[in-house]
Amino acid sequence: MRVELLEYTPNCEKLIAAGAKLCYSNAGIDGLLNNLEKENSDKFLRMLLSMGHESPIEHVTFTFGVEGVSRSLLAQLTRHRIASYTVKSQRYVKEGQFEYVIPPEIENLPAAKAVFLKTMEQEQEAYDRLTELLIQKHLEAFAQQGLDSAEAAKKAEKKAIEDARYVLPNACTTTLMMTFNARSLYNFFSHRCCERAQWEIRELADKMLALVKEVAPVLFEKSGPPCLKGGCPEGKMSCGKMAEKRVYYLNSDEYRK
């Protein structure tokens, strides 16, 4: 898995502090950014977050590039609706020798890994054979329509792979770009940094959180699973690692043994 922070709103914490200033003072637009050196900006931002007033943080966005994640993860990602996604298309891009993610539990069990790898090999063979058969069918149809060979070949492959992709597994990797505003990231981290989140998307969330903390440390200083701010909401299904998680995400000595 590779995750990069491609772009983000410049001076994002100062901009949010300006929003807080607008809410709680008589400042006009011309003076919103005045007297917002880092110390004042951090103070405004922490006050805002302590009050649970999160609407101003929607003004800043973060765009990530992600590769080497599974289509299974992609299905979970798009449940986070207040975000924008651009994904490599299996309809327009031929997979060729597709890459795939092996879950750790399968990787660490030789018999299970052997079954998994054999299945991936069979999926590849099926994809390649279906693509071949469909291309031939479409080439004949396009030739009858009078298309020249180069154009016919291009259109035939595109039409073939949009159907052949149906045999590709959830493990097949993909590449995507996604943009979240900061408030949506809070929600994403709350759900996906939790120990009960699926392992692959939890790894992604942790990598994303580390990246945004580098550029907006105050804004994300308390981001992570919901147990950082109170009791675990999972009830009987709690992982029981609240103290450990607070050490990990908050770097808090209070919870160190």
Active site residues: 192
Nearest to 16 by CA among 61, 62, 57, 63: 57
| CA–CA separation, 169 and 95 (whole Å) | 12
Q: Which among 194, 213, 214 is positioned nearest to 203, based on CA atoms?
A: 194
H helix intervals, the chain: 12-24, 38-50, 71-77, 104-107, 110-144, 149-164, 182-192, 199-215, 242-250
Asked if 37 contacts 18 with a C-beta cutoff of 8 angstroms, the reply is no
